[in-house]
Structure 1
Amino acid sequence: MADEVELLETLKQVIDPELMINIVDLGLIYDIAQEEGVVNVNMTLTSPACPAGPQIVQQSKMALEQLEDVEKAEIKLVMSPPWSPDRMTDDARDQLGIF
C-alpha cells in the first residue's frame, strides 16, 4: 500500500494549467488517505470559480489510479477552509514571485 508521501509525490504530476505549479506545492491537497485500495482525497481550488477545476480533479484521479496498489481514487472538492497563498510551499511562492 502506498504511503502518504508516495501519494503526494504522485499528485505532484498534476499541474495547475493557469499557474503552472503542481497542486501539492500550491497547497490544494487538504487530506489524503488510502484504505484497502481506495485513495480518498480532500482538495480545494485556488478559487471556487476556477475554470480548470474539473481538469485538475480528473488529472488527480487518473494520476493516483495509475499506482499499482490503487484501485480507485475518490476526489472530494472542499471549499472550507478557503485556500490562501499561505498554504503554498516556499518553492511555489518563489516561482510566482510571492515573498
Structure 2
Amino acid sequence: MSADAGPAMTEPNAPFPYEGPEALRQPLVAALTRVVDPEVAMSIVDVGLIYGVTVTAEKLHVRLTMTSAACPVADLIIDEVETELDRVAPPELLIEVELVWEPPWSADRMSERARRFMQW
C-alpha cells in the first residue's frame, strides 16, 4: 500500500477543517488561536468562528464568520487574523480571509472550553 502524499485533511478532534501541508497545520492553528474576539474575551478558534483553512501552493485561504452580522469588531478580527497568519505563513503565500455567513454561527460551534467559560 502506498502512502498518500496529498494534502492532509481534518483530524477528528481538530478545531476546524484544514486542507494543506501537515507541517503548516499546527503553526496555523496556533496563529488563529492567538486572535481574540474582544466581545467575549476568547480565542476565535474556541468561539468557533473559523469555518476552514485551505493551503495551496499559491494561497492560504481562511473562511471565518462572526457571531452576528452586526458584529462591531469584524474588521479588527479580520486584521488580526491576517497579521497572525502573516507571522507563520511562508512569504510566497497570498493570505485571503473570507468572511462568510453560511452556515450561520451558533453556540454549538464553541469548544468545550468555551462552553465552560461561558457557563453553557
TM-score by shorter chain over 0.5: yes
Check conservation: 2:27, 2:88, Cα contact below 8 A: no
Equivalenced residues, count = 98
Q: What is residue 30 of structure 1 aligned with on the other side?
A: 51
Q: What is residue 97 of structure 2 aligned with on the other side?
A: 75
Q: What is residue 8 of structure 1 aligned with on the other side?
A: 29
Q: In structure 1, what is the Cα distance between the partners aligned to 2:57 and 2:69?
A: 31
Q: Runs of at least 4 residues of structure 1 off by over 6 A?
A: none
Q: In structure 1, what is the Cα distance between the partners aligned to 2:89 and 2:99?
A: 24
Q: Cα RMSD (Å) of the superposition?
A: 1.5
Equivalent residue for 1:66, pick from 77, 87, 111: 87
Structure 1 segments unaligned to the other structure (5+ residues): none
Determine whether 1:92 maps to 2:114: yes
State the identity %.
36
Q: What is residue 62 of structure 2 aligned with on the other side?
A: 41
The one-letter amino acid paired with 2:95 is: A
Q: In structure 1, what is the Cα distance between the partners aligned to 2:69 and 2:78?
A: 13
- The structure, 1 or 2, with the larger RCO (C-alpha pairs under 8 Å, 6+ apart) is 1
